[in-house]
Structure 1
């Protein structure tokens, strides 16, 4: 694994990973920190990538795990009971991340209202366009659970 490969991964996927994490944690600064942590873990463990999935799927699996760990540490009761955190300020995401029109803004607000399990599936399947199989790999779920969550 070359340094150039790791830099390519960051250049290619960091914005997409940041958007995913931001929709989960609803805090831009925290999402940036967790995105950096995701890529640090990918760098430290790149030898474990076995090409059984795409690089993007592997990175999103790491991002999901980093985000889950964040919720376990920072909000243990909400994580345990599967509760969503109280909605923070619902102002649009900063312009440097996404230039949203009002329709997209409404969509993102609605997604932030979903319970975490539904939010993850919607983001991965519909916004990030992962297949059912890839979504199941990232979430460590069965494909049927992913399909049922979307129903």
Structure 2
């Protein structure tokens, strides 16, 4: 599969199995990424569902200016941002609260195989939101700095600076726990 683009084109042509392939391929990674925006695994699940519903119902045009995955994650980020705006407007829930849910632990354990990576994920959770986002997109999802900039709506220089500072903060967090980051 060429990063989901051919599956999406098949779906647009009437083959529903294309959407099934897209959901299977991108669901878990998109959910973990959107969790950094919502700080709530349940809200992230809702945003992921809304992302795929938007693809299925509105059928936005993929112009090919970026990879399909970058385009999809950008749609997901926009939905998560809108979701957070609605929550703030209606409830005033702080974004910086990091909630540990059983569902999240199960998802992380199945997605991030080793115990060391799970500890790393928890250390990421304690970082600033913007640090979490750029680290997750760059290292867990494998996006380039340019793609990360496009997804997050920042300039390439901002992303590079954020990555530098995020790595420094993550190293500090990991050292507090006696974690050996050289083994990553």
- TM-score normalised by the chain length of structure 1: 0.82
| Deviation, structure 1 residue 36 | 0.2
Unaligned runs of 5+ in 2: 1-11, 165-184
Q: Return structure 1 stretches of 4+ with deviation > 4 angstroms.
A: 76-79
**1:89 aligns to what?**
100
**1:44 and 2:57 equivalent?**
yes
Number of aligned residue pairs: 148
Instruction: Assess if the C-alpha contact under 8 Å between 1:84 and 1:114 holds in 2.
Output: no
Aligned ranges 1:1-151 → 2 under 5 Å: 1-2=12-13, 3-75=16-88, 84-89=95-100, 93-96=104-107, 98-99=109-110, 100-151=113-164
| 1:10–1:89 distance in 2 versus 1, CA, 3 Å | closer
Deviates more, 1:130-139 or 1:69-78: 69-78
1:79-104 CA-partner distances (Å, limit 9, x unpaired): 9xxx7522323768342553354322
Instruction: Assess if the C-alpha contact under 8 Å between 2:51 and 2:76 holds in 1.
Output: yes
Q: Distance in 2 between matches of 1:20 and 1:117?
A: 11
Instruction: Assess if the C-alpha contact under 8 Å between 2:34 and 2:47 holds in 1.
Output: yes
| 1:92–1:10 distance in 2 versus 1, CA, 3 Å | closer
Q: Point out the structure with max Rg over C-alpha.
A: 2
Whose RCO is larger (CA < 8 A, sep 6+)?
1
Question: What is the Cα-based RMSD across aligned positions, in Å?
Answer: 2.5
